[in-house]
Amino acid sequence: MCLKAIDTRRDDQMPICLIPMKDILCTNVNCGLKIKHSISAIERMFEFLPESSTAFQQKPYVCPMCKHLEIADVPSNPVKADPDEQPLTSGKCEYLVAIECDGKDCLHQIRAFATMERNVEIFEVEEQMKEWSGGGATCVLHHHPRYPFVLKAVMELASI
């Protein structure tokens, strides 16, 4: 949806595309930032998570600032769009990243929501995962991530 906004620095109109977004709060006590993410990517992510995640509106989340992996609550209300604000995730891409759990012979994965550069290659995702910390997220059988994190798959959800 594109909205027309008036640029007060010039006396003309310019179209500004505002992407519907929600704030997700990083649960890391040393970070705690609210970061805007596209609603379309969040909704698409829920398609790949267990029903309990959708029911509780929670998902495994990697904060793009502190790189902490944890379960994050997804608010029900979108944030009001501000055409003058540049979201922290602007110019990036939101991905579903499947991570191996530590359960012996477990066939399930931990599917986390992560923001990274556009068009990343598998080896680049694996490199970025080396910076991730935490591990409060679990697979459907409640196994924690294998550490160091092991990438099983990556899929683009949306570009911002």
Confirm whether 2 is domain-assigned. Answer: no
- For the chain, the domain total comes to 1
Range of the domain at 134: 16-76+87-159
DSSP 124: H
Distance between terminal CA atoms of the chain? 13
- Residue 134 pLDDT greater than 60, yes or no: yes
The Cα–Cα gap between 77 and 99 comes to: 29
Q: Would you say residue 9 lies in a domain?
A: no
Question: pLDDT digits over 96-124, tens only?
Answer: 999 999 999 999 999 999 999 998 999 99
Decide: 79 and 25 in contact? Cβ < 8 Å: no
- As given in the structure block, the two tokens for residue 135 are 């591990």
Q: Is residue 6 part of a domain?
A: no
Q: Would you give the distance in Å from CA 66 to the centre of its chain?
A: 13
> Could you give the percent of the chain with pLDDT greater than 70?
81
| Predicted model pTM | 0.82
Name the token pair of 1: 């949806």
- In a domain, residue 121? The reply is yes
Assign 127 to helix, strand or coil: helix
In a domain, 3, yes or no: no
Average pLDDT, the chain: 84
